[in-house]
Chains A and B, each alone.
Chain A
Amino acid sequence: MSATPETIRQAVIDSVRAIAPEADFAALDPRRPFREELDLDSFDFLNVLIELHARLGVEIPEADYGKLGTLEAILGYLAARLESA
């Protein structure tokens, strides 16, 4: 799968917006805590991961949740996973 940084970013935005339509990515600092800034609780976060899986085909194991703290970290993680897929 050829995923560019742009398509990954768009997939993240679409996945979050499916759960939290109000999410304002323009105002999001990619280095600040992602869930807190976008107000996603645990339940929302799991649903965002389900959406991401549907869009990118990447299944994220629970042990990796700790690596997904900021938008920057999430984009980096997904890029690496898609690269190695």
Chain B
Amino acid sequence: MDIIRKQLEALPVRPNLLDYEAERAAFSWTAARRSLDGLPGGRGLNIAHETVDRHAAGPRSTRVALRWRGRNDAAQDITYAGLRDLTARFANVLATLGVEAGDRVFLLCGRIPMLYIALLGALKHRCVVTPLFSAFGPEPIATRMEIGAARVLVTTASLYRRKVDSIRARLPALEHVLLLDDEGGAALPPGTLALQPLLDAASPDYEIGPTDPEVPALLHFTSGTTGKPKGALHVHQAIVAHYETGRLALDFHSDDVFWCTADPGWVTGTSYGVIAPLAHGITQVVDEADFDAERWYTILRREHVSVWYTAPTAVRMMMKSGAEAARRHAFPKLRFIASVGEPLNPQAVTWGVEAFDLPIHDNWWQTETGGIMIANYPSLDIRPGSMGKPLPGIEAAIVRRTHDGGAEPVDDPAFEGELALRAGWPSMFRTYLNEEARYRKCFSGDWYLTGDLARRDADGYYWFLGRADDMIKSAGHLIGPFEVESALMEHSAVHEAGVIGKPDPVVGEVVKAFVALKAGFEPGEALRRELLGFVRKRLGAVVAPKEIDFVANLPKTRSGKIMRRLLKARELGLPEGDTSTLESA
């Protein structure tokens, strides 16, 4: 596909990054740190101070920080001054309950204002915060809260009833459950506290305690191909990278209205749906509702969104309804569109031009990297299908694994290898909680090994090729097959299960399960439905399989590992490759 050439003089705003090579050469993380204030009196660096309190104390105090739009016609605008008071109240509630710095606070809410208030308020109190995706079922919620040893949970009465009540007994570390009443004043379940009265009684002033920049702030879970989900731990100074990537990759300017469509339950929705825009003191749009093309066009237009960060699945769903649907609206303020979550196909990049007169800029990063690592920039020509070039301050390489377990960069545009990043940027994860060995396995010397396969062309653009493992990317969400297989295995009829990502034109991949039954059970529609319902109830719709096939047995290696790759090859009708190590091929 043709390169999309950029003409700087035609851009409505002069990009922050004008000359890629010059910016790279001049960049240093130490200098970047100076864009932030630090806590008064040299008491360290705290995300909540940089995103809220420093703006509330200055000329931006009356500016709207969060422009919330509810599922129905509800709306709420919260200024920086207002956000300062609300987050202070929340931090004081935690203090009153005896919650201490370092304690883990989990959030399970839709995109309602309290999610943002609790997240930032807990950071003020120097707690470690985990926003969980509210569409998770009880099992993924329980697993993550067990690993994280959650002491506090903030959720709504309806989510508690549907998803937490049944797993509460598994969470002995959970002391405080703070509920928002969304069920019209029905009596709260035992063992919970109504949050609103506590907030009303709390002081709107809170002084953030000394915060070492290396103190943990956020715990984001990511799935693995084997074993339980991993809790990637991020520290307060990750905000240096959030700020800089907001400036360079999303091109934030001081009068921008920004909309990140991701849910904070995924890392994108926290790093860019909360922290980066607020660190810049700009207005951030939050929409409570799920994707709906017409609704989204209306929000873009009515809220005067100027920078928009969305996901390939959403773009492809908009493409289905046609560019004319977008063309019926006018978006005079919109000037930059970016996308993340999975590779953006070239057709989607150029569809942006048809629908919005703007190409869509793909970028790449992971839960572990905490922020955008490789990106297409406003000033840089786009090669549709490429994820772009590494951020200033980020050194990337395509590496070959050596037989002694090391990794060596290969500088050959034809070489397809693993994407690696030189360790040391501020938002890099600091460990997998309680799993130091798994953390260490991600590194070879100085290189963080991403698990993604890519190549770099002769001009330095990176191209995503696939995962080096069996992880599934569905609607931009990384889903671990092991978690799905484990849930299926809990059913009394299931002997074993293998789970793959089946390619899908809209969501990238859908989760598909192959199930072998125990002796005495017969495959059939009734059992298929029973299994589907069983596993959906445990995992929730976003993680559960969309398709279940029965098989007589699953292909395994001699050591007994299920060969998911072979299941996938069969599903796609591809050659099965070398099957010599298989037990049943």
Kindly provide the distance from the CB of A64 to the nearest chain B CB, expressed in whole angstroms.
9
Residues of A near B320 (CB, < 8 A) are 62
Residues of B near A41 (CB, < 8 A) are 135, 290, 475, 541-542
Q: Looking at the complex, which of A2-10, A28-36, A51-59 is the stretch in contact with chain B? A: A28-36
Kindly provide the distance from the CB of A63 to the nearest chain B CB, expressed in whole angstroms.
5
Residues of A near B537 (CB, < 8 A) are 22
B536 touching A20 by the CB < 8 A rule? yes
Interface extent on A, as a size class? 20 to 34
Give A22's nearest chain B residue, CB to CB: B533
In the assembled complex, B321 has its CB within 8 A of some CB on chain A: yes
Kindly provide the distance from the CB of B392 to the nearest chain A CB, expressed in whole angstroms.
36
- State whether A21 and B532 are in contact (beta carbons under 8 Å apart), knowing that A62-B293, A66-B294 are contacts in the complex: yes
Residues of B near A43 (CB, < 8 A) are 475, 506-507, 510, 546
When the two chains form the complex, which single residue of B137, B325, B506, B534 contacts A63, counting CB atoms closer than 8 Å? Answer: B325
Kindly provide the distance from the CB of A65 to the nearest chain B CB, expressed in whole angstroms.
5
Give A17's nearest chain B residue, CB to CB: B529
Residues of A near B71 (CB, < 8 A) are 33, 69
In the assembled complex, A40 has its CB within 8 A of some CB on chain B: yes
In the assembled complex, B530 has its CB within 8 A of some CB on chain A: yes
A66 touching B475 by the CB < 8 A rule? no
Residues of A near B510 (CB, < 8 A) are 43
Give B134's nearest chain A residue, CB to CB: A36
A20 touching B475 by the CB < 8 A rule? no
Pick the most buried of B137, B295, B530, B533: most chain A CB atoms within 10 A of its CB.
B533
Kindly provide the distance from the CB of B541 to the nearest chain A CB, expressed in whole angstroms.
4
- State whether A40 and B541 are in contact (beta carbons under 8 Å apart), knowing that A21-B530, A32-B158 are contacts in the complex: yes
- State whether A21 and B541 are in contact (beta carbons under 8 Å apart), knowing that A33-B71, A36-B110, A62-B321 are contacts in the complex: no
Q: How many A-B residue pairs have CB under 8 A?
A: 60
When the two chains form the complex, which single residue of A32, A37, A66 contacts B292, counting CB atoms closer than 8 Å? Answer: A66
Give B161's nearest chain A residue, CB to CB: A27
Expressed in whole angstroms, the Cα–Cα distance for A43 and B532 within the complex equals 15
Residues of B near A20 (CB, < 8 A) are 532-533, 536, 541
Give A45's nearest chain B residue, CB to CB: B290
Give A39's nearest chain B residue, CB to CB: B541
Residues of B near A44 (CB, < 8 A) are 541, 546
Give B504's nearest chain A residue, CB to CB: A43
Kindly provide the distance from the CB of A17 to the nearest chain B CB, expressed in whole angstroms.
8
In the assembled complex, A84 has its CB within 8 A of some CB on chain B: no
Kindly provide the distance from the CB of B191 to the nearest chain A CB, expressed in whole angstroms.
21
Residues of A near B530 (CB, < 8 A) are 21
Q: Mark B152-186, 1 if CB is under 8 A from A, else 0.
A: 00000010001000000000000000000000000
Residues of A near B110 (CB, < 8 A) are 36
Give B536's nearest chain A residue, CB to CB: A22
B290 touching A42 by the CB < 8 A rule? yes
Kindly provide the distance from the CB of B493 to the nearest chain A CB, expressed in whole angstroms.
14
In the assembled complex, B317 has its CB within 8 A of some CB on chain A: yes
When the two chains form the complex, which single residue of B135, B475, B534 contacts A39, counting CB atoms closer than 8 Å? Answer: B135
B294 touching A21 by the CB < 8 A rule? no
Expressed in whole angstroms, the Cα–Cα distance for A65 and B158 within the complex equals 24
Q: Mark B516-556, 1 if CB is under 8 A from A, else 0.
A: 00000000000001101110110011100010000000000
Give B511's nearest chain A residue, CB to CB: A43
Residues of A near B321 (CB, < 8 A) are 62-63
In the assembled complex, B27 has its CB within 8 A of some CB on chain A: no
Q: Mark B100-112, 1 if CB is under 8 A from A, else 0.
A: 0000000000100
In the assembled complex, B291 has its CB within 8 A of some CB on chain A: yes
Expressed in whole angstroms, the Cα–Cα distance for A37 and B534 within the complex equals 17
Give B529's nearest chain A residue, CB to CB: A21
Those of B67-97 within 8 Å (CB) of chain A: 71-72
Q: Mark A46-83, 1 if CB is under 8 A from B, else 0.
A: 00000000000000001101100100000000000000
Residues of A near B317 (CB, < 8 A) are 42
Residues of B near A39 (CB, < 8 A) are 135, 137, 536, 540-541
Pick the most buried of B71, B290, B541: most chain A CB atoms within 10 A of its CB.
B541
Expressed in whole angstroms, the Cα–Cα distance for A69 and B288 within the complex equals 13
Expressed in whole angstroms, the Cα–Cα distance for A20 and B72 within the complex equals 25
Residues of A near B546 (CB, < 8 A) are 43-44
Q: Mark B289-323, 1 if CB is under 8 A from A, else 0.
A: 01111110000000000000000010001001100
Expressed in whole angstroms, the Cα–Cα distance for A21 and B534 within the complex equals 8
Expressed in whole angstroms, the Cα–Cα distance for A32 and B135 within the complex equals 16
B325 touching A42 by the CB < 8 A rule? no
Expressed in whole angstroms, the Cα–Cα distance for A63 and B135 within the complex equals 24
Expressed in whole angstroms, the Cα–Cα distance for A84 and B220 within the complex equals 50
Expressed in whole angstroms, the Cα–Cα distance for A55 and B294 within the complex equals 26
B293 touching A42 by the CB < 8 A rule? no
Those of B43-89 within 8 Å (CB) of chain A: 71-72
When the two chains form the complex, which single residue of B290, B295, B475, B529 contacts A35, counting CB atoms closer than 8 Å? Answer: B290
Expressed in whole angstroms, the Cα–Cα distance for A20 and B529 within the complex equals 8
Residues of A near B158 (CB, < 8 A) are 32, 37
Kindly provide the distance from the CB of A47 to the nearest chain B CB, expressed in whole angstroms.
8
Expressed in whole angstroms, the Cα–Cα distance for A69 and B313 within the complex equals 21
Kindly provide the distance from the CB of A38 to the nearest chain B CB, expressed in whole angstroms.
9
Give B288's nearest chain A residue, CB to CB: A33
What 10 A-B pairs are tightest by C-beta distance, nearest first? Answer: A22-B533, A21-B533, A21-B529, A41-B541, A22-B537, A62-B321, A39-B541, A66-B292, A65-B292, A22-B536
What are 5 contact pairs spanning A and B, CB under 8 A? A17-B529, A21-B532, A22-B536, A37-B162, A42-B290
Contacts from B to A (Cβ < 8 Å): 71-72, 110, 135, 137, 158, 162, 290-295, 313, 317, 320-321, 325, 475, 506-507, 510, 529-530, 532-534, 536-537, 540-542, 546
